[in-house]
Structure 1
Amino acid sequence: MTPQGNPAPAGGVRFARLAEQIADDLRTRLLVGDLAEATELAVEESLRGHYSVSKPTFREAMRVLEAEGLITVRRGAIGGAVVHRPDAEHVAYSLGMALAGKGVSIADVAQALREVEPACAAACAGRADRMQEIVPILTRLHERAIKVVDNLVEVTALSRMFHETLVDLCGNQSLVMLAGALESLWSSHEAAWAHRAADTVDIPRAERLKALDEHRELIDAIADGDSEAARKIALRHLLVAQIYPSDQIDVLISPTSVRKRFTDSSG
């Protein structure tokens, strides 16, 4: 409707529908694999010609996809756009913004992780190819963490990589997206804590090594194919590992920090 209450011009409706149709077509091509990750779409004139629409209509379709995080539009002489397949970081961004809008604290994320990450650990132990696809990767991360155990920032980063990898390799894509989004939000919180605590919090070396020993126990349980043991070890470890970063666990999830992590990870 117009401000005077009259019906909107038919041309405006057609403009919106055409833009939606183009966005739908490109979105489908991306999600089914016709357009690979990081593929550069053709320059505007060429791509617009393919759809035989006006420049404003085409650009509106691009804005829709850019708002969804599916493309990054490059302005200027080079034109074009780079496509991005949705991943856990995109889900984390949307989830983080939704939680921030509800005034949720990071403690809520920690609790959710205690529910879903042990399920991912159990799923890893149930994978038939775990000795080829999971155990070697987790072992390398564990060994790297041992070497930098005296550096709180570095060992924290590697520990978070261990947890994120555990989720990423669980084999269930719904869990990968859901738990991966939660891991991303918690990792942002824990990384900020590590930088603050590096010069102020004294965590005995023995305690750091004990936490890493639990990573080793978890790797062994996965290697043995013992899903129930992997589940229990993962939960026990989280109950301890979340203690130190809990100094500000009641802090609300910040839209600014969510946006910063997303833009940093998107490059």
Structure 2
Amino acid sequence: MQIHQPRLAEMVADALRDRIISGRLKDGDGLPRQEDLLAEFNVSKPSLREALRILESEGLITVRRGNLGGSVVHAPRVGNAAWSVGLVLQSRGVPMTDLRDALKSIEPVCAGLCAAREDRHETVLPVLRAIHDEVVAAVDDEVGFTVAARRFHEQLVAVCGNETLIVVVGALESLWSSREEAWARDASLTGEFPDRRRRMTGVRAHERILRSIADGAVDRVQQQARVHLESTLLYAVGENRPVAASSPRQIGDVGV
């Protein structure tokens, strides 16, 4: 039975993807040379090129063209999940307000998990305090402040300790951050960015969240996170603006 080229490409992509996901091919590794892959899989050059195109579209490799050539491996990241989730939401015409409401519901849960961690003083607070210092330092830089503040929220999820939430909620955080940072650049140019007083309100909210996490106050930090998100997620939401997917390389990655 003859196997058609698209099916061959999928089989090669499946085999290489399995090596990347299993860790046999690690982040930053190069794929074997084209000649070696052709010999190993016994496929044509068009089938191999299509297999590499599939993996590149998934953010698992970067194909270097020109004299250098070759392909570099990228371990699966939250950015890949954000890309996939973003495509689905965009295809359904889901508005940013829907994404906002999801984050308002779920991010406080992650804040509570941070406060519940017995090792929070070693694993959670050092990370969040370091980023909070960056937020404070950038308070007079509108775009820089937004980038740092979004990192605080992303890392709040990343250190919550639940891997499923880290990936799923992290993907939503990445989608929101991508949009909010674009909004910040525009608002800074048009003079519509919130004034320094409002930025300091956000800084103080972060400080309250940090204190509650340090105290292990789960219910308190969840309530504080909800109140904070109610005010901060008002920005970056255009009238009926839909969620838009960005490529894995454009989306910031959540993690430590």
Q: Normalising to structure 1: TM-score of the pair?
A: 0.85
Report the counterpart of residue 93 of structure 1 in structure 2: 83
Q: Which structure has more RCO (C-alpha within 8 Å, separation ≥ 6)?
A: 2
- Give, as a single letter, the amino acid of the residue that structure 2 aligns with 1:241: T
Out of 145, 152, 161, the residue aligned to residue 142 of structure 2 is 152
Describe the SS at the equivalent of 1:245. coil
Report the counterpart of residue 42 of structure 1 in structure 2: 32
5+ residue gaps in structure 2? none
Q: Distance in 2 between matches of 1:208 and 1:64?
A: 43
The alpha-carbon deviation at position 249 of structure 1 amounts to 4.8
CA RMSD of aligned residues (A): 2.1
Indicate yes or no: 2:197 matched with 1:206.
yes
Indicate yes or no: 2:56 matched with 1:66.
yes
Contact 2:30–2:70 (8 Å) recurs in 1: yes
Indicate yes or no: 2:206 matched with 1:215.
yes
Q: Distance in 1 between matches of 2:124 and 2:101?
A: 25
Describe the SS at the equivalent of 2:72. strand
Indicate yes or no: 2:2 matched with 1:11.
yes
Indicate yes or no: 2:250 matched with 1:264.
yes
- Give, as a single letter, the amino acid of the residue that structure 2 aligns with 1:157: V
- Give, as a single letter, the amino acid of the residue that structure 2 aligns with 1:211: G
- Give, as a single letter, the amino acid of the residue that structure 1 aligns with 2:197: A
Describe the SS at the equivalent of 2:236. helix
| Deviation digits for residues 30-86 of structure 1 (CA, Å, limit 9, x no counterpart) | 111111112111221123323344333333332332232222222344332111222
Out of 122, 125, 128, the residue aligned to residue 112 of structure 2 is 122
Contact 1:44–1:79 (8 Å) recurs in 2: no
Report the counterpart of residue 238 of structure 1 in structure 2: 229
Indicate yes or no: 2:155 matched with 1:165.
yes
Query: Which is further off, 223-232 or 151-160?
Result: 223-232
Out of 87, 97, 111, the residue aligned to residue 101 of structure 2 is 111
Report the counterpart of residue 188 of structure 1 in structure 2: 178
* % identical equivalent positions: 39
Q: Normalising to structure 2: TM-score of the pair?
A: 0.88
Aligned residues: 251
Out of 14, 21, 33, the residue aligned to residue 23 of structure 2 is 33
From the CA coordinates, give the structure whose radius of gyration is larger: 1
Report the counterpart of residue 176 of structure 1 in structure 2: 166
* Structure 1 residues 126 and 59: CA distance shift in structure 2, 3 A: same
Query: Which is further off, 132-141 or 44-53?
Result: 44-53
Q: Distance in 1 between matches of 2:239 and 2:166?
A: 24
Describe the SS at the equivalent of 1:217. helix
Report the counterpart of residue 227 of structure 1 in structure 2: 218
- Give, as a single letter, the amino acid of the residue that structure 1 aligns with 2:194: I
Q: Distance in 1 between matches of 2:249 and 2:14?
A: 25
